[in-house]
Amino acid sequence: MIKPGDHGDVVTDVTNTLHRLGFIAKASETFSDEVGQAVRAFQQERGLSVTGLIDETTQVAINEARWKLGDRSLKVSEPTMRGDDVASLQSRLIEMGFNPGRVDGIYGSRSEAAVKDFQKSVGAKVDGICGPATVIALMRLLRTVTGGAPALLRDQASREKRGPALADKVIVLDPSSSADIAEFTFDLAQKIEGRLIALGVSVFLTRGLTTAPSEDERIAFTNNTSADLLISLSVDRNSSGAANGLATYFYGSETHGIHSIVGEKFATIVQRELIARTDLSNNRTHAKTWNLLRLTKAPAVMLDIGYISNPKDSSRLADPNFRDVIAEGLVVAIQRMYLSAEQDAKTGTLRLEDLRRAGIRK
């Protein structure tokens, strides 16, 4: 953790990058108030938690931000190559109709396969390495499709092929293990699990009642299940007891103009459904680049269901009936994501009984 008052080569390296990115007037070897403001601005732009401190996640993001497409040859390697140059490459490939997967700034096997497809299409050497010749070809070609439409069409076709039934879906629930909210989030996860199982869904929890796996372990667990969706359940806290309300997060970056299409859609449905069913304040949906959202292969959302530091929200969370309302709202939101416009209903009106009567399960 690099914090105000620290100084040395690491601070100089970080501030050099922030200077090149336009967040600070000049590099410095001391973590001053100006540096702290620059860090906050960088974190805000990158969809990170805004603290003004340089933790490991922020330091990695600053390091990734130094790379622009063409600065280096991109290839599958160990350690894995990450950076803004990879994200730019992935975005450009998607816009031209190739499929590197999610724009996550990580050069993996799917990015390599998409580069090979591109190289084949332009008659270049097919090696999966994005070197100077491949970058030049990318820059010369006009964008034949814009706005991420190919990804949207692929997602829509996939969902239509699988249909509205939940019985073939795999959903991972990720209840927070933070000490002061672990009991609530695990109980809520079990309530959701029971309702989903009744609809024929395969459900996995990332932890047990007394376990607390790391974020990396939860990401790996989710990816190994080939999940259709990850839902992370948490409760926020703030030094001010006045902070309150519900917020939902999905993977996205304004810097790169990318987002998880399914993640954003589901986050929007969840937020609207739960706000309609409860009296929680609406803190809206937000794009973030947190690792759980970025590195999980399946669409992922994170929910902050109220504030444990707010007396009214805390009282709600302690009420089993309130938890039932949240659980039912989440399950209905899951189903609504897979319904066509003709099958869908007004927010806050569908019930599990409606889904069963409609036969929306195998």
pLDDT on residue 351: 62
Residues of the chain with CATH 3.40.630.40: 163-357
CA nearest neighbour of 154 among 112, 90, 91, 102? 102
pLDDT on residue 49: 87
Distances (CA, A) of 354 to 13, 33, 169, 333, 349: 58, 56, 19, 13, 9
Q: Please, what is the Cα angle at 360 between 357 and 362, to 5 degrees?
A: 110
CATH topology of domain 163-357: Aminopeptidase (3.40.630)
pLDDT on residue 147: 44
CB count, 10 Å around CB of 158? 11
pLDDT on residue 4: 86
Per-residue pLDDT of the chain (362 residues; tens, 9 = 90+): 888 888 888 899 999 999 989 999 998 899 999 999 999 999 988 888 889 999 999 999 999 999 999 999 999 999 999 999 999 999 889 888 899 988 889 999 999 999 999 999 988 999 999 999 999 888 887 544 444 455 555 555 555 545 556 778 899 999 999 999 999 999 999 999 999 998 889 999 999 999 999 999 999 999 999 999 999 999 999 988 999 999 999 998 877 777 788 899 999 999 999 999 999 999 999 999 999 999 999 999 999 999 999 999 999 999 999 999 999 999 999 988 876 444 445 555 566 565 555 444 44
- Rounded to two decimals, the pTM is 0.78
**CATH number of this structure's domain 84-159:** 1.10.101.10
**Looking only at Cα atoms, what is the longest distance across the chain?**
66
pLDDT on residue 72: 95
Token pair listed for 300: 């992922």
3-state secondary structure of 297: coil
pLDDT on residue 349: 57
235: which DSSP letter? E
Residues of the chain with CATH 1.10.101.10: 84-159
Alpha-helical segments (H) within the chain: 9-20, 33-46, 56-65, 84-95, 109-122, 132-140, 149-162, 182-198, 215-224, 261-277, 291-295, 311-317, 320-338, 352-357
pLDDT on residue 342: 41
